[in-house]
Structure 1
Amino acid sequence: MKRFCVLLLLLAAPAAAEKRLLEAIVVRVNERILTVSDLRQRAVERAAETGKKLTPEDIPTFLQEAVDELCLLERASELKIEVERADVEAAVAQLKEQNHIADDKAFDELLANLGMTRKQLEERLKATITINRTLQKEVGQLPITEEELKSRYEKEKERFAIPEKVHLEHVLFPIKSDGSNAESQWERARRLVAAVRAGADFSQSVAEETKKGDASGGDLGEIALPDLREEVAKAVANLQTGEVSDPFAHPAGVHVIRVKNRIPSSYKPFSQVVEQLRLEEMDRRYRQRLRSVVDNLKTRYVVEVHPEYFSL
């Protein structure tokens, strides 16, 4: 009998320890808590949304975000911010519309695939709406002047660089897989280059060669230098507008290129990127202000984080 009781204790101990671990409080802000099971559920939801599983390296940031959220929810209580049932229902309806789902059954199946119930979704949406409203009050307006955006544009101008382009024409003389026509094709290419350099029209010369049936060519349009094949980039590197390259090897045969025009490198004008800069600057300032708000809240609240309790 004694051996039987000891055996029961040995079998029960791991289960009890696991239960304690699952319900261990990992994050606490005042009386708000997140347990191991809460955070594991969030990790599952995030993986379903992003298509990327949480890694051990992600855990510090993951827990930091959880602390931030609880701090903001606590602040929402202080500000007496309320979210009505109708607000949550509107958010659910918007999600359905975004996912092109008309009926509740299909929506619940989608949630099940995400590892989430309807109740859990509604709780998360309510928290999200609450946090957003809190941030609107705490962060406030973030005005950005045109002068500030122009200054950032000048400092980061290289981001908006447009590389040099070349407008190319070409002709390709194919070489058979056994190489039996290689010598004759190289000779044709050399003759064409000599004729063009002597004054013949490149386009007309190419047209005459393509009529023979095996050559191909024409206008390649404008191509940015970084996008050129390596052998083409080398061939046109020192060519000026109107000049033709020496024949050079191409995987399919013998290639000749003519530079129809060179378009110098430039920058996208401020007017084209001002809205991009505005959004980026707003996001930067918002994150900066958010960090300041949350850090201040942490000094006022009781905050505990126990990463040792949480593992994937």
Structure 2
Amino acid sequence: MKKLFACLIAGALLAGPALAQQVEPIDGIAAVVDEDVILRSELDRAVANIRAQYAGREEQLPPPAVLERQVAERLVLLKLQVARARDTGVRVGDQEVDQAIAAIAAQNGATVQQLAAQISADGLDFDQFRDSVREELMIQHLRNRFARSEIAVTEAEVDTALQAQAAGGPQYHIAHILVGLPEGATPEQIRIAQEKVEGVKALLDRGEMDFAAAAVRYSDSPNALEGGDLGWRSLGEIPSAFAQMVANMSPGEVTAPIRGPSGFQLVQLVDVRDAAEAAPQMVEQVRASHILIRTDEGTDPAAAKAEADTLHARLVGGADFAELARTNSQDVSSQADGGDLGWFVPQQYGPEIATAVTALRDGEVSEPFRTSAGWHILKRTGTRESDVGDQNRRAQVREMLGRRKLEDRWERFVRELRSEAFVDLRTASAGGPQAD
């Protein structure tokens, strides 16, 4: 299967029991997370999966006890995010899971049946795979809610980023190591973190370890096991605290420790390229129409779902989509146009719309699916390769800036979840039960 499928399998294995083989009747507990647990078998499989990803590069991994602790922490964070999603009312139904799996299969040039066969051939359980997809969708919804309430991008910021793109200039491939600090850190915690980051910097300066290996071993960032890689960014996308430093560095150089809102960071400039070498401006757009039945506090969810199902049945029976949209859709912005949403890139209207439209062929109509706005029925009407116009370019830049802001804010939010939770780690590196 394609790389995307491999990445999904890797992520799902790390997410807990979702892709696990059947748990043995007697299984140990690796961690207690509030009212949930991480089983020893879950942790062992997740660690084995990380080792498989580093096959041939085992020297980059930390000692077994440290790796186990890192992976356990990842599993803890995933449990906490799923729990917070549930507590805030995030629900993912079977239809949304089915649509996501159909999209995964389509992106890998396979049918759902072929995907299931591949999962079975790998010795994994398809029902547990579904559970993993459901949990990932829940976390996506939680992130989207967080972004809508916490992240704002101004038109001035978009203008500045567009001007930087038009002027060309370099893009920077950067990576980081984070030595985290809790909210309201004490002077002693700050001193210990500073000594740690300075010790890591000394190791790098002496050439005793390369940056990616140090990130895997010492970083508290969620991307530590990816070597701290932050990808390619223009100067305007790099936090101002160290943007000018990066601009004056040569590939391979590492900054001195930098104090930020999440802790101390070391930033490496991996490489530099001209912006003209970046991805082309041609994008794939789709055209679609939809019918929306809204759900809110005054709406019976079951009645809204029933209305969407009735409309879908009429469409299956040959009713005209545009006419039904004009007479029944509750999206005032598209109702008069027969539900037409125009041309857009799949992610423009959020992950649920993107998942549904990606799973369709031109001319096909989706099953009813739910978003935060209500129940949708989507019809994909066209596909094209298009040069990104000014409006779409602005939308893409706005999304990119919002995503960069979200990275840091979301990381702090997850760290707050961790600091507020009861976590009892029972890994070897924790020396047995250890609550915090």
TM-score (normalizing by structure 1): 0.47
Which of these two proteins has the greater Rg computed from alpha carbons?
1
**Higher relative contact order, structure no. (Cα contacts within 8 Å, ≥ 6 residues apart):** 1
The structure with more helix, counted as a fraction of residues: 1
